[in-house]
Structure 1
Amino acid sequence: MGKFEQKLAAMGVTLPEAPAPAANYVPYVVVGDMVYVSGQISKDDSGLIIGKLGDDMDTAAGAEAAKVCAINLLAQVKAACGGDLDRLVRVVKLGGFVNSTPDFLEQPQVINGASDFIGDALGDAGKHARAAVSAASLPFGVAVEIEGVFQIK
């Protein structure tokens, strides 16, 4: 087990198998030393985390859903690296989409659930650029979807 997975284990997190795509696309594309990971939805072992922020889900629950997306992103990066997450050099950018009502204004705080988790798990390698935007709806009614760009060696 490499250093990143040891840190995750110390945080009580074991990466799942990389989720399969839900439509006609690939879960990630490797170009040179960059990995572009398709949007990962808020889905864990219990199933889909559904909800609309500003309606039936609060910001804290949305942040937890974003953390789940981040775990799924790291699972995809691990798969892209042939099972060796320590090939990860850094997280370059995350793009976060929050299923929210038109008057909900805390998209950044929701996506902080992913950013904070990645920062805690990866240290300096986890420092990234980011977008956090509202979406009128997301696939399957999930609360959050996050895509990412990662540099590997």
Structure 2
Amino acid sequence: MRIIHGLLAAALALPFAIPGARAQTRVGEVSTTFRMVGPNDKVVVERYDDPRVPNVSCYVSRADTGGLSGWVGLAEDPSRFSLACRATGPVAMPSGIPKNESVFRQSASALFKALTVTRIIDEEKRVLVYLITSTKIIDGSPYNSVTAVPVDAPAR
């Protein structure tokens, strides 16, 4: 059943994939609410590697709704999440990178809702700022999380 749920979730996420973005890696999960039918509600931790900035990995914790509707892929996950991005090696600013760019996008419901991670460059402080938000066709959510990764100083 987990295989069917995973395949359904992957199929629903395809329209939201960003070209060039690597697939996320599930790091772990913790059950939060027991469900009699279907999987439990849980908090999931996933890692996304920035596709345009080598050595930057972002960790997203998010709610994953279980139960029967979650099992069949029809549940809408709450817009509550956390984000932490870290340098996993030397970080250099790639040339020609946009100042503001959507880096990752993942479906949070069967229709019309997605979590989006946006990279913003703070050139003055030489920092990459990552912001996660929830978007819907009509409106988004005020819930958000932000983190920053310093860019290594250029060689002299």
Instruction: Choose between structure 1 and 2 for higher RCO, CA contacts under 8 A separated by at least 6 residues.
Output: 1
Give 1 or 2: higher helix fraction: 1
Give 1 or 2: higher strand fraction: 2
TM above 0.5: no
- Calculate the TM-score normalised by the size of structure 2: 0.35
When Rg is computed on C-alpha atoms for both structures, the one with the higher figure is: 2
- Calculate the TM-score normalised by the size of structure 1: 0.36
